Amino acid sequence: MNTSYQLDVDKIRRDFPTLKREVNSGASLVYLDNAATSLRPIQVMAQITRFYRDHNSNIHRGVHTLSVEATEMFENIRSKVGKFINAEDSREVIFTRGTTESINLVVNSWGRKFLKPNDEVIISELEHHSNIVPWQMLRDSIGIKLKYIPMLDNGHLDMDVAESMINSKTKIVSITAVSNALGTIIPIEKVISLAKKQGALVLVDCAQSVPHLKVDVQSLGADFMAFSAHKMLGPTGVGVLWGKFDILDSMDPFLGGGDMILTVNMDHSTWAEIPSKFEAGTPNIGGVIGFGAAIDYLNDIGMENIRAHEVDLTDYALQKMIDVPGITIFGPNLAKERGGVISFALENVHPHDIGQILDDNGVAVRAGHHCAQPVMNALGVPATVRASFYIYNTREDIDALVNGLSVTTDLFGVKS
């Protein structure tokens, strides 16, 4: 056991009532689908309930007590998120519905304003669909060129190609920090330095990094960063776009409506300052306030401890799973080169069958293309099974996964 970090998993597990669930008539739940969404601790649920019970109100526009309280609670979370990622100014934190909306905001508000036909946008073969499709839509609408840094067989990006692909025509590199499909940790600092040499902006999809690793936006040097609360103990329907102040300030609004305006006349309107300019309509107030409790929870544990725990679990899982007959584990060989994600296949067994049998045994994993079809195409498979870990997972959970896999291989007669 790696003892160089401090994380009281038994205590943590007591905060997650879902872990007490049984599924399929009596199997104890082993939750290994954290890359899709994490569980939520009682502290987050309690904070959401507290808001609706004691402070329920709309924000930014009321003078009555509840509205003032709700506004203060909501804005405090903006500062908390800013501190969590070390933003210079909390106005650089825009609340959205999630990573997907954050990326769409940049594509539409920055891309439509500043990109011209034939300008080059660089993404990678490892992206989640939410960092591919919005750029394709922009390409089809205004004629930009979209280029993909290819993936190598070992699940890493081909950095030699990246180096030649990022050139003076590149206007933005939009890239994931950690692949949701394979777990690969991307050398984001290197990508940023290549982009900066060419004067290009960088958007980092941090959906799989901010929940698991310490991220410091100032030392990273990117221009935009997107992530979702629901993958880091917070509620669904809340996300963040962080962007450098001057760049956000120069962009056009994304959605029009209430809260994002300064003045509205019959013939024209003017915009509010950031962050309001990008937060049209009533936001998910209760969700943002619950997200604050999630950040407190993660801060109490410490992101370094979270990362160390996940490396320990991933290392253990890689060692155990390699002995499963007929298994192929995709992505980097070493735990330190991955987030807590293991994508795999069993010879002659469809990933959905594996997922089903694991579920019969209480083990929740994801089987499918993980919203990353280009990765599946590069691997030459239609789908994989993905087990993904978080703070409440244990080595016993991985043993349960491996036991479920031996039930599967026995049933399908898979031999090594």
Q: How near is the Cβ of 184 to ligand PMP at its closest, in Å?
A: 11
Residue 235 or 404: which CB sits closer to ligand PMP?
Answer: 235
Are the CB atoms for 21 and 34 separated by under 8 Å?
Answer: no
Residue 99 or 170: which CB sits closer to ligand PMP?
Answer: 99
Token duo for residue 147: 């280029």
Instruction: Look at residues 129, 63, 111, 101 and name the one whose alpha carbon lies nearest to residue 284.
Output: 101
Q: How near is the Cβ of 226 to ligand PMP at its closest, in Å?
A: 7
DSSP assigned state of 52: I
Residue 298 or 324: which CB sits closer to ligand PMP?
Answer: 298
Cis peptide before 235 (omega within 30 of 0): no
Report strand pairing: 384-388 vs 341-346. Answer: antiparallel
In the annotation, is 371 catalytic? yes
Are the CB atoms for 205 and 232 separated by under 8 Å?
Answer: no
Does 59 engage in binding with ligand PMP (CB under 6 A)?
A: no
Name which position in 128, 156, 277, 309 contacts ligand PMP (CB under 6 A). Answer: 128
Residue range at the interface with ligand PMP (CB under 6 A); choices 68-76, 158-166, 204-212, 310-318? 204-212
Please state, in angstroms and rounded to a whole number, the distance separating the CA atoms of residues 341 and 317.
10
Alpha helices in 156-232 (DSSP H): 159-165, 188-197, 217-220
Residue 101 or 223: which CB sits closer to ligand PMP?
Answer: 101
Classify residue 152 as exposed, middle or buried by CB count within 10 Å of its CB (0-12, 13-18, 19+): middle
Catalytic residue among 7, 42, 213, 371: 371
Residue 103 or 324: which CB sits closer to ligand PMP?
Answer: 103
Does 384 engage in binding with ligand PMP (CB under 6 A)?
A: no
Residue 94 or 414: which CB sits closer to ligand PMP?
Answer: 94
Q: How near is the Cβ of 147 to ligand PMP at its closest, in Å?
A: 19
Name which position in 15, 92, 120, 205 contacts ligand PMP (CB under 6 A). Answer: 205
Q: How near is the Cβ of 205 to ligand PMP at its closest, in Å?
A: 5
Instruction: Look at residues 333, 331, 342 and name the one whose alpha carbon lies nearest to residue 388.
Output: 342
Please state, in angstroms and rounded to a whole number, the distance separating the CA atoms of residues 47 and 289.
7
Query: What is the per-residue binding string for ligand PMP in 155-184, x denoting contact by CB under 6 A?
Result: ---------------------x---x----
How many residues make contact with ligand PMP (CB under 6 A)? 12
Task: Spell 298-323 as b/e; 16+ CB within 10 A means b.
Answer: beebebebbbbbbbbbbebbbeebee
DSSP assigned state of 178: B
Name which position in 170, 174, 184, 228 contacts ligand PMP (CB under 6 A). Answer: 228
How many CB atoms neighbour CB 386 within 10 A?
Answer: 27
Residue range at the interface with ligand PMP (CB under 6 A); choices 55-63, 97-105, 183-191, 376-384? 97-105
Q: How near is the Cβ of 207 to ligand PMP at its closest, in Å?
A: 3
Name which position in 30, 34, 73, 98 contacts ligand PMP (CB under 6 A). Answer: 98
Name which position in 34, 124, 130, 314 contacts ligand PMP (CB under 6 A). Answer: 130
Q: How near is the Cβ of 203 to ligand PMP at its closest, in Å?
A: 11
Residue 70 or 294: which CB sits closer to ligand PMP?
Answer: 294
Please state, in angstroms and rounded to a whole number, the distance separating the CA atoms of residues 345 and 327.
6
Three-state SS string over 122-160 comes to EEECCCCHHHCHHHHHHHHHHCCEEEEECECCCCCECHH
Residues that bind ligand PMP (CB under 6 A): 98-100, 128, 130, 176, 180, 205, 207-208, 228, 371
Active site residues: 371
